[in-house]
Amino acid sequence: MNTAPTKIAVLVSGGGTNLQALIDAEKKGIITSGKIELVISNKPGAYALTRAENAGIRTAVINNKEYATREAFEAEVKSVLKENGIELIILAGFMCILTESFTSCYPKRIINVHPSLIPSFCGEGFYGLKVHEAALSYGVKVTGATVHFVNEIPDGGQIILQRAVYIEPQDTPEILQKRVMQEAEWNILPEAAELVSKEIKEKGEEYEHIQG
Ligand code: GAR
């Protein structure tokens, strides 16, 4: 068994409250099988980068808008992940959809947090506040969050953990977003990070290999 913690990269685009939940979980000993080695943002100036710097975590900005093609952007992300020996990628509010040529290189090694109970309100076009707007306008009474493996289908990979959150009569998209984060995302993302890190660490060579 490999004794070193699984090397984690967290990919972000915005405020990074889920990144903060991961950093705090590592400090509290909720994540012990993995270590956040690197934070990559596709958005220069994202507050998530400040959170990483405050925690002493290496950061990289890879601005997708500076690359002519999605393939060129993803090639740069891959090369930075490789340079840092990353074994597990966590998408925490990362707002770029990754292509199959990227996701197929990391089988069962990319996880994502999505702010609904998949398969509701997910897939292309459902991100951030839009997910909560859709849930409220449909009139569902229960929503929540999901952590899942990432494959070529947006929000379509195997589910790892889910947590339900009740909708309250006075909810606005903003109020609901905050409650889903507090009651669901900030708990299940660290829990799933520990589960998958542990499996990668314990299975070692028997775990799915990084391709390319
Ligand atoms: C979170 O609610 C996350 O689940 C969502 O964006 C927010 C990012 O917040 N992600 C998606 O909608 C992906 N489809 P954060 O930057 O504060 O973690």
| pLDDT for 3 | 85
Residues belonging to the active site: 114
Decide: 135 and 116 in contact? Cβ < 8 Å.
yes
Domain 6-205: top CATH class: alpha beta
Residue nearest to atom 11 of ligand 1 (CA): 127
| pLDDT for 2 | 66
* Mean pLDDT per 10-residue interval, the chain, length 212 residues: 90 98 98 98 98 98 97 98 98 96 98 98 96 98 98 97 98 98 98 98 96 88
Task: Enumerate the domain spans of the chain.
Answer: 6-205
Which residue ranges have their beta carbon within 6 Å of ligand 1?
14-18, 48, 92-93, 113-115, 127-128, 131, 181, 185
User: pTM score, two decimals?
Assistant: 0.98
CA distance 150 to 177: 22
First vs last C-alpha separation in the chain: 24
